Amino acid sequence: MTDVRFDDRVVVITGAGNGLGRTYALEMGKRGAKVVVNDLGGSAFGDGADKAAADVVVDEIKAGGGEAVANYDSVTDGDKIVQTAMDSFGKIDVVINNAGILRDKTFHKMEERDWDLIYDVHVRGAFKVSHAAWPYMRDQNYGRMIFTASAAGIYGNFGQTNYAMAKLGLHGMSQTLALEGRSKNIMVNTIAPIAGSRLTETVMPQQLVDALKPDFIMPLVVKLCDENSQETGGLYEVGAGFIGKVRWERSKGHSFSVSQGFNAEDVNDAWDEIVDFTDADHPSSIAEANKPLIKNLKS
Residues within the interface to ligand NAD (CB under 6 A): 14-15, 17-21, 38-42, 44, 53, 74-76, 98-101, 121, 125, 148, 150, 193-195, 197-200
Question: What is the distance between the alpha carbons of residues 21 and 43, in angstroms, rounded to a whole number?
Answer: 15
Distance in Å, CB of 148 to ligand NAD, minimum: 4
- Residue 211 or 270: the one with the smaller Cβ distance to ligand NAD is 211
Supply the DSSP symbol for 90: S
Question: What is the distance between the alpha carbons of residues 124 and 172, in angstroms, rounded to a whole number?
Answer: 13
What are the C-alpha distances in Å from 275 to residues 112, 230, 246, 279, 281?
A: 35, 35, 20, 12, 12
Closest to 160 in 3D by CA, of 244, 101, 97, 209: 101
Distance in Å, CB of 147 to ligand NAD, minimum: 9
Distance in Å, CB of 204 to ligand NAD, minimum: 8
- Residue 33 or 191: the one with the smaller Cβ distance to ligand NAD is 191
Distance in Å, CB of 161 to ligand NAD, minimum: 15
Q: Are 171 and 145 within 8 A, CB to CB?
A: no
Among candidate residues 72, 136, 142, 163, the one labeled active-site is 163
- Residue 52 or 179: the one with the smaller Cβ distance to ligand NAD is 52
Known active-site residue 142? no
Question: What is the distance between the alpha carbons of residues 166 and 29, in angstroms, rounded to a whole number?
Answer: 29
Distance in Å, CB of 295 to ligand NAD, minimum: 39
Question: What is the distance between the alpha carbons of residues 150 and 266, in angstroms, rounded to a whole number?
Answer: 37
Torsion angle defined by CA atoms of residues 190, 196, 201 and 202, in that order, rounded to the nearest 10 degrees = 20
Count how many Cα atoms sit within 13 Å of the Cα of residue 246 in the half-sphere of its side chain. Answer: 19
Distance in Å, CB of 153 to ligand NAD, minimum: 9
- Residue 142 or 173: the one with the smaller Cβ distance to ligand NAD is 173
- Residue 21 or 233: the one with the smaller Cβ distance to ligand NAD is 21
Question: What is the distance between the alpha carbons of residues 123 and 143, in angstroms, rounded to a whole number?
Answer: 20
Please give the residue whose beta carbon sits closest to ligand NAD in the complex.
19
- Residue 226 or 237: the one with the smaller Cβ distance to ligand NAD is 237
Q: Are 129 and 97 within 8 A, CB to CB?
A: yes
What DSSP letter does each residue of 16-83 carry, written as one string? TTSHHHHHHHHHHHHTT-EEEEE-----TTS----THHHHHHHHHHHHTT-EEEEE---GGGHHHHHH
Residues classed as catalytic: 163
